[in-house]
């Protein structure tokens, strides 16, 4: 997974160079990621598979700059960020418009209605207005949960919650969506529906996607597939 000489780093939405990450507990130390190089172009989708505990979630956290690497760099839209340094305030403020996140557990805010949950990332950018509200409703409609917009998340089913989470991840037109086993808590059929909606929306909105999944079927549905093994990412 190396970019050609002709391709500059600017042409990638997301790119990493030599990401290393190890965890230590007590005096034992395990190296989870051992020089991960990853590229992602605009509108591309990349699936990552790997054994449980191989470091997929850790990799996503590094990409989102939620965790510090031992060494290596992450490039957000061609901009080099030192992965082993604390994110700057600029990065933090950029995160809301650059990234969308979806997790296995849906993490909706229980005190907010569905619509308010979707609009929440928007508030971080301080731009809630009627167009945004309309955008949120459109997304909910696309996800098929518009009728639940004034419900609180506690009254939704798992599949419905994950649809809301997808809408929330997309609200700010992010460049990249990081999805960590988004269907992990759902049954086969619901999982399939949700995955279809996710992939389809990413295509429609030209959003790049990194999809961590155990399901080979979903892994094949993305434009590129890779496997994380022994601390390195290998395209298949």
Partner 1 sequence: MKLPWPLYLAWKQLFPSQRKISFFSLLAIVGVALGVNVMIVVIAFMQGFQEKFKSDIIDAQGHARMIPVNPQGRSMDVLSSLGEKDEIIGISSYVQGQLLLQNRDYNSIPFAIGLEPDSCSEVLPLNEFLKQGHSVMDSHDAVDLTPSPTTDALEDEVVFISLEVANRLGVRPAAILQLLDENKTGLMDGEDGRIEVRRLDPFISSGEWILEILGSNRIMIREVISNFETVRKIRDGVIDLGYGNPVFEIKKGSKPFLPGMIFRYQCFRSSTIEVYSPSMIEKAKSDEMSPPYEVRVGGIIEVPWQGFHSEVVLGTARFMQVMKNQRDSADGYYLKFSDELARDEVKLASICKQLEGIWSDNWVVIPWFVENAWFFELLQFEEYLMILIMIPIGLVAAFAIAIALMTSVMRKIREIGLLVAMGAGQISVGFIFCLQGLIIGTLGAFLGCGLAIVFIHYRDQLMSFIVEQIAGEDGQVGVSQFYDFYSLKVNYPWESPASLINFLSFATFAIMVSTVAGLLPAWRAARLNPADALRSE
- Residues within the interface to partner 1 (CB under 8 A): 57-58, 61, 64, 66-67, 89, 92-97, 99, 101, 103, 105, 107, 109-113, 116, 120-121, 123-126, 128, 150-152, 168, 172
DSSP 81-146: EETTSPPPHHHHHHHHHHEEEE-SS----TTS-HHHHHHHHHHHTT--SHHHHHHHHHHHHHTT-G
- 97 binds Mg ion per the rule CB under 5 A: no
Instruction: Answer with the entry of Mg ion, ligand ATP, partner 1, none that 72 interacts with (C-beta below 5 to 8 A by kind).
Output: none
Cβ proximity to partner 1: between 70 and 193 the closer is: 70
- 57 binds Mg ion per the rule CB under 5 A: yes
Instruction: Answer with the entry of ligand ATP, partner 1, Mg ion, none that 52 interacts with (C-beta below 5 to 8 A by kind).
Output: ligand ATP
Cβ proximity to ligand ATP: between 22 and 73 the closer is: 22
Whole-number Å distance between alpha carbons of 184 and 163: 13
Distance, CA of 195 to chain centre: 13
Cβ proximity to Mg ion: between 139 and 186 the closer is: 186
Query: Beta 224-229 vs 208-212: how paired, if at all?
Result: unpaired
Q: What is the number of other CB atoms lying within 10 angstroms of the CB of residue 30?
A: 12
* Both tokens assigned to 56: 């997929």
Residue 81 β-bridge partners = 74
- Nearest residue to ligand ATP on Cβ basis: 57
Scanning 49-57, 67-75, 152-160, 184-192 for contacts with Mg ion by CB under 5 A, the matching segment is: 49-57
Scanning 43-51, 54-62, 131-139, 143-151 for contacts with Mg ion by CB under 5 A, the matching segment is: 54-62
* Torsion sign (Cα): 209, 37, 69, 52: positive
Binding site for ligand ATP (CB under 6 A): 23, 25, 32, 50, 52-58
């Amino acid at each position: 997974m190396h970019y050609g000489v002709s391709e500059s780093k600017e042409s990638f939405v997301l790119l990493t160079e030599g990401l290393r990450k190890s965890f230590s507990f007590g005096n034992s130390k395990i190296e989870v990621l051992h020089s991960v190089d990853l590229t992602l172009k605009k509108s591309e989708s990349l699936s990552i598979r790997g054994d449980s505990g191989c470091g997929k979630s850790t990799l996503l956290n590094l990409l989102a700059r939620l965790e510090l690497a031992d060494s290596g760099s992450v490039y957000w839209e061609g901009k080099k960020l030192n992965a082993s340094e604390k994110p700057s305030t600029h990065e933090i403020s950029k995160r809301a418009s650059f990234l969308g996140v979806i997790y296995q557990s849906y993490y909706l805010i229980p005190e907010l209605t569905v619509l308010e949950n979707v609009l929440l990332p928007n508030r971080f950018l301080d731009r809630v207005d009627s167009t945004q509200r309309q955008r949120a409703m459109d997304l909910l409609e696309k996800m098929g949960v518009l009728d639940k917009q004034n419900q609180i998340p506690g009254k939704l089913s798992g599949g419905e919650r994950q649809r809301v989470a997808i809408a929330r991840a997309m609200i700010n037109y992010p460049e990249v969506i990081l999805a960590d086993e988004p269907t992990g808590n759902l049954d086969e059929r619901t999982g399939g529906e949700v995955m279809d909606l996710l992939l389809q929306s990413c295509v429609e909105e030209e959003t790049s996607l990194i999809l961590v999944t155990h399901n080979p079927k979903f892994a094949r549905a993305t434009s590129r597939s890779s496997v994380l093994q022994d601390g390195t990412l290998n395209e298949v």
